[in-house]
Every structure is written in C-alpha cells, then in structure tokens.
Structure 1
Amino acid sequence: MTTGLLVVVLVAIFIGAIAQRIAGLGFALLISPFLVILLGSHGGVLMVNVCGLVSSALIMTRVRKDIDWSMYRWLAVPAVCGSIPASVAAVYLPAAPMAVVVGAVVLVALTASLVMQRTSVTVTGNGPKVVAGFLSGVTNAVAGVGGPSVSAYALMARWPQRPFAATLQPFFVTIAIVTLTAKLSLDPGQMPPFQPWAWALIALMIIGGIYTGEKLQRFIRDEQARAAVVVIAFFGAAAALAKGIFDLAA
C-alpha cells in the first residue's frame, strides 16, 4: 500500500471515529464506501468491522452508565443469528457485486433513515427489536453497515438519544466479533495486509477521533452531526456503487 493511500485511509478512520463518538453511530456509514473503493470489497468491509469493533469498545467504556442492557439483549441475539449466515455468504461473493451491494445497502439505508425521521409512526413490543437486530446483523456482515436498521427502530420507537447511542456500542462490539470470527475462520486472507506500524497508526486515529469527538460534542448538536454523516456517506456510497457497476461492465 502506498503512503498516500494509507493517509487517506487514516483520515477516513479519524473522521469516522469523531462521528461515532458524537452521534453514537456513523462510523461504518461514513467510511465503508470509501474503504471498499480503497481496499477492495472484501478487505474494505473487513476493515470497517475491525475499526468498528475497536471504536465501539473504546466508546463503551465512556458511556457504560447509560447502556440499556435489556434492549441490548433483544437486539444482539437476533443480530448474531443474522450475522453468521450473512458472513459466510459475504466471503464467497465476488468483489464487483460486493461493491455494488455495499453502495446499494448504504444508499437504501440512508434514504430509509431520512424517511423515518419524518414519520409519526410509533412502534412498540419486542417484535420490531428482533427485526431491527436481525437486519443489522445481516447488513453489517455483508456491507459493514449495521446502524441504519437499529437507527430506524430507535426513531419509530422514540428511543431517547443518550441511551440509544450508549446501547449501540456493546451491540456493535458483539456483531463485529461474530462477523470477524466467521469471515476470518473461512478466509484468513481477507485481512488487509497492513504492517504492524500501520495498524498502530490506525489505532491512534481511532483513539484521536474519539477524543476529538468527545471535545466537539459540547458544541455540535446530534442532528448536525448526523446530517454531516449522511451527506458524506451519500457521496461515498454512490462512488462505491458506480465503481462496482463499472467493474461488472468491464
């Protein structure tokens, strides 16, 4: 990997970590399409899973008092059930269709999230939690994006932002561990071939992004952070989709 490419990856990860700390989600939406373009479909999604695991684990230590563990269980168990078969399928999908899938999933998820913000529908009961968790596990395994379905559920269930953002962190840790274990067990060669010093820089970018996000959080409203994430992610998803279609045509 060239130095320039590594710098772009590091900047994307840094910005994603800032968004994750401020809004509770957004890391995968923000960086997944770009890493798919930079590292390839399989390596990019796997990289998102690795970075998402690290960032959520670190943030979880900062927000643990606000975690709703009952809600976590209702979301995590079906998410694991969706992650395992989807991870197996993702390992064997060709690269170009994977790029198309990643771009399309992010675009659909973003559009659905925007629509959900304008709806007056309120959902209750455990059924919607199970559906949201299962879909999150599937999309996280295939496209590295697990947040939109649980975000849509949170909007329709009127789940307050603080416990929602906190509860997502152990949830993301769980599905990332399951997805990484399944994928690397089937194909260890999917892991991006970074040198140890590059992995150390990636870890520093995640830590630095979380720290920066924590400092910026007092000045930025949640809706502003989410709006910025959506705009950037739309461009990235469109680019990933276009690249996949171009590769398929070629």
Structure 2
Amino acid sequence: MHGWPFLCLLGGIVLLGTSVQRLAGIGFGLLAAPGLMLLMGPVQGVALVNCAGIVISAVGLASTWRQVRLRTMVPLVAAAAATVPLGAWIALRLPEPVLLTGLGSLITVAVILVLRGVRMTALRGTGGAVAAGAASGFMNSSAGVGGPALSVYAVNEGWTARDFVPNAQFYGLLVNLLSVGAKGLPHLARPAWLLIAATMAVGMVLGGFLAARTPERGTRRVILGLALAGGVTTAAKGLWLLL
C-alpha cells in the first residue's frame, strides 16, 4: 500500500491538473502527465492521466454536447483510433528510462508547437484532421498529451475558443476511452482512488471559481510554461537514468 507522501503528491498533482483544466479548457495532461510519470512510472502515470481525462471530458461535455461538430470529429477520432494501439504497444514495451526520455521530449515539443501557434496548410481540411488525429492518438496513449496536436489543428482551421472547448471534450472522451481500453486501468489501492475522486471534485470547483477572475491569455501562458518545465524535467530524468 502506498504511504502518505505518495498520496499527498498524487492528490496535489491531480488537484493542480484538474483546476487548470477547468480554468483554461486544456492542461490536465500537459501539467499532470510529467508529475504522474515521475511519481508512478511512465506506464501507470499515463494510464491515470487517461482515466482522469475521461471524467473531465464527460463532465464538461454534459453542458456543451450540442456544440460538437460531429462531421469534423469523425476523421479526427478515426485516425486517433488507428494509432492509439501503437502508442500503447510502445509504452508497454520500452524500458522506463527510454520512455521517460521519449515522453518528456514529446511533451516538450508539443508545448513549443502550441506556444508558437504553428500554421501549416497541410493541417487544414480532412487531410489535416487525419494527420492531427493520428499524432494525437499516438501521443495520448503513450504520453497522456493528445491535446496539443488537436490544438495545432484547431489553430490552422481558425477555431475560436468557443468552437474548441466542446469539440476537444468530445474528442478527449472518446480517445481516452480508447487509450484505457488499450492499456487497462492503473494499479492503485482504494484510498488512492478515493483521493483522486475527491481532489478532482475540489479541482473542478476551484478551477471554476478562478476562471471567472483570471485573464485567459495570462493563464494559458503560465500553464504552458509549467508544462514545458515538466516535459524538460521528465526528459532530463530519463537521460540521467540512461547515462
């Protein structure tokens, strides 16, 4: 059974990630994945990110499902479904130092792409949706960070925040379900699951409170800055273990 230090760190990471997700519409995977990988190991940490993503997306989608663009989502989700098994297969077979290095690097690159607002003609239309969905599905099942690829696609398609949030929630629900189906649930004792449920509930309330009082642009930059630091730290630990 895990001790109190583990539970305190676990609860803190989940609380931070959930609050940020509720505050900005993105951020749980970017912020929580590096910490959970370092705390629980890459496979179990990412599995927990995927489980939390299901809950967060389902709660958010309950009030926004009418705004989902189903025709746009079909190629994105279909492409992700094709690459989720590959990401899971790689994550379950590579040694932990290699995984930490690779996944930390993936998170770092993904954050940089979002920060720079990368624009590419190839990431528009159905072809762009397929490319973004394939990249996102692989990254979601292997690293717990499928959001950046979807964000880059949304930027190139000219989506507003109003367009992005409900569609990202719909996409996140389905792709995280696929990711959990490919890898299974993380191995945690009942007290840990109860703590996760409690901190997620508190995080959603806290994030909602902060959302009404925090400028969106500044919040987004802080989130991505923290995510970048987490990605670099995870990659650095992997390199340290390799060397």
Instruction: Note whether the superposition's TM-score is higher than 0.5.
Output: yes
**AA of the residue aligned to 2:203:** G
Corresponding residue number in structure 2 for 1:217: 211
The alpha carbon displacement at 1:168 in A equals: 0.8
- Equivalent residues of 1:55, 1:207 under 8 A apart: no
- Equivalent residues of 1:23, 1:165 under 8 A apart: no
Percent identity, aligned pairs only, is 29
The total of aligned residue pairs comes to 242
Partner deviation per Cα, 1:13-44 (whole Å, 9 max, x = no partner): 11111221222211100011111111111111
| Structure 1 residue 206 corresponds to structure 2 residue 200 | yes
Structure 1, gaps ≥5 residues long: none
- Equivalent residues of 1:122, 1:158 under 8 A apart: no
- Equivalent residues of 2:124, 2:153 under 8 A apart: no
CA distance in 2, matches of 1:225, 1:156: 22
| 1:31-110 to 2 correspondences below 5 Å | 31-110=32-111
Partner deviation per Cα, 1:144-194 (whole Å, 9 max, x = no partner): 11011110111121101112111111211111111111112xxx7xx23x2
**AA of the residue aligned to 2:48:** M
- Equivalent residues of 1:72, 1:168 under 8 A apart: no
| Structure 1 residue 248 corresponds to structure 2 residue 242 | yes
CA distance in 1, matches of 2:13, 2:66: 29
Three-state SS of the structure 1 residue aligned to 2:222 is: helix
The alpha carbon displacement at 1:62 in A equals: 3.0
CA distance in 1, matches of 2:44, 2:15: 18
| Structure 1 residue 239 corresponds to structure 2 residue 233 | yes
Three-state SS of the structure 1 residue aligned to 2:62 is: helix
- Equivalent residues of 1:122, 1:157 under 8 A apart: no
| Structure 1 residue 2 corresponds to structure 2 residue 3 | yes
The alpha carbon displacement at 1:246 in A equals: 1.0
Structure 2, gaps ≥5 residues long: none
RMSD of Structure 2 on Structure 1 (CA)? 1.8
| Structure 1 residue 21 corresponds to structure 2 residue 25 | no
**AA of the residue aligned to 1:180:** V
**AA of the residue aligned to 1:53:** I
| Structure 1 residue 139 corresponds to structure 2 residue 139 | yes
Three-state SS of the structure 2 residue aligned to 1:145 is: coil
Partner deviation per Cα, 1:187-206 (whole Å, 9 max, x = no partner): x7xx23x2212201201211
